[in-house]
Amino acid sequence: MSKLLVTGGAGYIGSHTVRALQDANHEVVVLDNFSAGHLEALPDGVAIVQADLLDEEAVRAALRDHQPDAVVHFAALIEVGESMSDPRRFYRNNLLGSLNLANALLDTRTAENTPVPVVFSSTAAVYGEAEVIPIPEDAPKRPTSVYGETKLSFEHVLSAYDRAYGLPHINLRYFNVSGAHASGEIGEAHPNKTHLIELALLTALGQREKMKIFGTDYPTPDGTCVRDYIHVDDLASAHVLAVQALLDGSPSTAYNVGLGHGFSVKEVLDAADRVVGTPIPREIAPRRPGDPAFLVAESSRIKAELGWAPQYTDLDQIVESAWRWHRRYPHGFEKATR
């Protein structure tokens, strides 16, 4: 059993991963400022540190107090569109906050003088408009959004720190994460709702008037953006494998985590129509700044090297699992009765 510090563990992906790590017999400490996370999303048996990564001393204290064997670093701001209108906030939170964590890891090295390893939540957004689809890990990194830039910048910090100080890390570049926990008890509940599937299902529940399709003039088969949708529980299992690889001494690397199949915005809305059993109202709207046309993963490396085997391979199944959560808890954690 290892002890793991999970930053952003009260968020959407974090809370699913915390459960998967517990199921793999790890002890979990969550560090979160609860700016977007939910206390109710955390299971029993987790130690909680309410702290902000921008408070470097608090981060050092958490590492000193809990002495984790590895860190899983989720905490970040995540909205691509908002990163374009408020880059200052994104660089500060995502880059400075992450830098504080990396520096605190150096400052609290173990007796053997090695910093504890890190699994970092990177993103498909580091690639930008890719020339080769599906996108392999060594494709050029040209983010089209500030959000993607902040994530790529921290990947660079990690590789420089690894070269200079030996900071083992695995960057997991997630594609579009969706769905909800198999229990139906936790799911996506972002305070700022921007994700396609969550918005479509909340529209089906009557919480929005209609869906906007952002752009129908992309160079894709139906003119709308194509994304690779991966179930959050499958992403959680990728983290369990990445943590174990680092604990076993694997060298630093990066893996794409996606299914390798792309679906357009229109195809996702059609899947949502099928799942909810009624057409969700939609209208065409202008492009959203920062959105690349295609993001589809080449994810054979994580399968070959870590033995990752996603369980959800069908878009309707993924949307159905999200629908179970939203229908049961239409207002997320705010009105959840538990």
Ligand X SMILES: O=c1ccn([C@@H]2O[C@H](COP(=O)(O)OP(=O)(O)O[C@H]3O[C@H](CO)[C@@H](O)[C@H](O)[C@H]3O)[C@@H](O)[C@H]2O)c(=O)[nH]1
Ligand Y SMILES: NC(=O)c1ccc[n+]([C@@H]2O[C@H](COP(=O)([O-])OP(=O)(O)OC[C@H]3O[C@@H](n4cnc5c(N)ncnc54)[C@H](O)[C@@H]3O)[C@@H](O)[C@H]2O)c1
Cα–Cα distance, 221 to 251 (Å, whole number): 39
Q: Does residue 195 belong to the site contacting ligand X (CB under 6 A)?
A: yes
The angle subtended at Cα 311 by Cα 305 and Cα 308, nearest 5°, is 10
Q: Which span sits near ligand X by CB under 6 A: 88-96, 156-164, 194-202, 248-256?
A: 194-202
Specify the residue, 291 or 298, whose C-beta has the smaller distance to ligand X. Answer: 291
Residues with Cβ within 8 Å of 304's Cβ and at least 6 positions away in sequence, in order, are none
- 147 assigned to active site: yes
175 binding ligand X? (CB under 6 A): yes
Checking phi first, is residue 75 left (phi over 0); if not, alpha (psi -120 to 50) or beta?
beta
User: Does 207 contact ligand X by CB under 6 A?
Assistant: no
Geometric angle at alpha carbon 236, from 230 and 240, rounded to 5°: 135
Q: Choose which of 76, 201, 245, 315 interacts with ligand Y (CB under 6 A).
A: 76
13 binds ligand Y (CB under 6 A): yes
What does the alpha-carbon distance between residue 338 and residue 333 come to, in Å, rounded to a whole number?
Answer: 10
Q: Which residues pair with 48 in a beta bridge?
A: 30
From residue 26 to residue 65, what is the string marking binding to ligand Y with x (rule CB under 6 A)?
------xxxxxx--------------xxx-----------
Beta-strand pair 226-227/294-295: parallel
Sequence-separated contacts (24+) of 106-114 with Cβ below 8 Å = 106/161, 106/165, 106/167, 107/60, 108/60, 108/63, 108/64, 114/166, 114/168
Please identify which of the residues 12, 147, 255, 329 carries the catalytic annotation. 147
Using the rule CB under 6 A, is 212 a contact of ligand X?
A: yes
The answer to whether 123 contacts ligand X (rule: CB under 6 A) is yes
Instruction: Choose the one of ligand X, ligand Y, none that binds residue 227, judging by a C-beta under 5 to 8 angstroms depending on kind.
Output: ligand X
- Residue 75 binding: pick among ligand Y, ligand X, none (C-beta 5-8 Å cut-off by kind): ligand Y
Contact letters for ligand X, residues 213-232 (x by CB under 6 A): xx----------x-x-----
Query: Should residue 149 be labelled a site residue for ligand X when binding is judged by CB under 6 A?
Result: no
Sort residue 134 into left (φ over 0), alpha (ψ -120 to 50) or beta.
beta
Nearer to ligand X, 124 or 235 (CB): 124
Provide the terminal-to-terminal Cα distance of the chain, rounded to the nearest Å. 29
Q: Is 94 in the site for ligand X (CB under 6 A)?
A: no
Select 175 or 329, whichever has its Cβ closest to ligand X: 175
Min. distance of Cβ 111 from ligand Y in angstroms? Answer: 28
Plot region of 45 (φ>0 → left; ψ -120 to 50 → alpha; else → beta)? left
**If you ran DSSP here, which 8-state letter would residue 152 be given?**
H
Q: Interface with ligand X by CB under 6 A: which residues?
A: 78, 80, 123-125, 175-176, 194-196, 199, 211-214, 225, 227, 265, 288, 291, 295
Q: Give the footprint of ligand Y on this chain (CB under 6 A).
A: 8, 10-14, 32-37, 52-54, 74-76, 78, 93, 97, 121, 123, 174, 176-177, 190
